[in-house]
Amino acid sequence: MIKETIDLKLLRYFVVTAETLNFTLASQALNIPKSALSKAIAKLEDGLGGKVFERSSRVVRLTETGHILYSRAIVLLDDASHLLHDLKTMQHSVAGHLKLAAAPALGRFLAQDIIPSFLKQWPEVSISLKLSYEYENLFKEGFDLAFRMGQNRDESVIERPLGLANRVVVAAPDYLAQQTKINHPQDLIDHKSVQIFERQQQVWTLQNGKQTEQVSLNTSFQCADFVALVDAVSGGLGVAQLPWLVVRDAVKSGRLIHILPQWLSSGLPISLVYRDGHNKSAKLAEFLAWIELNKDQFDLRFNGE
């Protein structure tokens, strides 16, 4: 692969000289010594392997190589100028691309309730949102920010608390119709459960005011995707303790029944994180401000209503 490049500064010196065809006037226009200009042109010619000027004591003319170079150089310098302008403008105007990451359930909430209104406000911004249960490395993968549920595990990022979520116990109406009534958390022990996939057996901790109960259930189905878990519970595979954010629509539609509504999990923190020391662009600053403006929407707990 050919890796030779042309120094844009040398191209600029060449273009100014080609337009004046006078080294003295060109050096004055560039505000550099005439000797420095001559050395720069010689360096350019050495890199090209040919002369760009024919010089005599009376006249300076472009060579054939010089004519070709001049026609291309003015385009390259113009493109470079626009590129620098665009990059500088991007830092001060609300435009460009934002790369975000979030847990799938939280990401679906963002895509439905938060991001559309922001993009309507700032139509020159585009957003890509990666949905993953992993905690992405913001530096390595180039994310502008990430939304997270649970405790932050990365001390190298700035964390901004947003709100809380909690888990509720749910089951399908048909399943409950065939089982004994569940009046207390300890009644759950006789039921099979649908669980988020984890290597260790899960213990459900349920709170009702100052009362706390812990129960461990046999598992009939495990999966790492909440949508699949909701489908499994709806299919009658057992009871599940899932985030209210994930099941609220299914509960409101009657697809699932919220069991023991007074018994809930403790709050699960929701936060956003972004890179420490990251020089925030205007688009990122505006997005952070938008999130702060809509912070009340991140109270995603079941509150008894």
Q: Distance between CA atoms of 268 and 243, rounded to whole angstroms? A: 9
Number of alpha carbons in the 13 Å side-chain half-sphere of residue 279: 4
Residue 201 Cα distances to 218, 230, 232, 241, angstroms: 9, 20, 19, 14
Long-range contacts (CB closer than 8 Å, 24 or more residues apart) made by 149-152: 149/103, 149/105, 149/106, 149/243, 149/268, 149/269, 149/270, 150/268, 150/269, 151/269, 152/271, 152/273
Q: Distance between CA atoms of 257 and 169, rounded to whole angstroms? A: 8
Helix axes 244-253, 226-234, angle to 10 degrees: 30
Across the chain, the runs of DSSP E, i.e. the strands, are 53-55, 60-62, 96-102, 125-131, 145-149, 157-165, 167-171, 192-196, 204-208, 211-215, 218-223, 239-243, 257-259, 268-275, 299-300
Report the pLDDT value the prediction gives residue 8, as an integer from 0 to 100: 87
Spans in the chain with pLDDT lower than 50: 1-3
Q: Quick one: tokens of 302? A: 């079941």
Report the pLDDT value the prediction gives residue 78, as an integer from 0 to 100: 77
Domains of the chain by range and CATH?
Answer: 8-92 (1.10.10.10), 96-164+268-300 (3.40.190.10), 167-259 (3.40.190.290)
Q: Quick one: tokens of 165? A: 């979520």
CA nearest 149: which of 92, 110, 94, 184? Answer: 110
Report the pLDDT value the prediction gives residue 117, as an integer from 0 to 100: 95
Cβ atoms of residues 230 and 246 within 8 Å: yes
Predicted TM-score (pTM) above 0.85: no
Report the pLDDT value the prediction gives residue 2, as an integer from 0 to 100: 42
Beta-bridged to residue 205, according to DSSP, are 214
* Secondary structure class of 16 (helix, strand, coil): helix
Cβ atoms of residues 152 and 125 within 8 Å: no
How many Cβ atoms are within 10 Å of 178's Cβ, its own excluded?
A: 8
Residue type, 275: R
Burial class of residue 233 (count of CB atoms within 10 Å of its CB; 0-12, 13-18, 19+): buried
CA nearest 38: which of 52, 48, 262? Answer: 52
Report the pLDDT value the prediction gives residue 199, as an integer from 0 to 100: 63
Cβ atoms of residues 151 and 165 within 8 Å: no
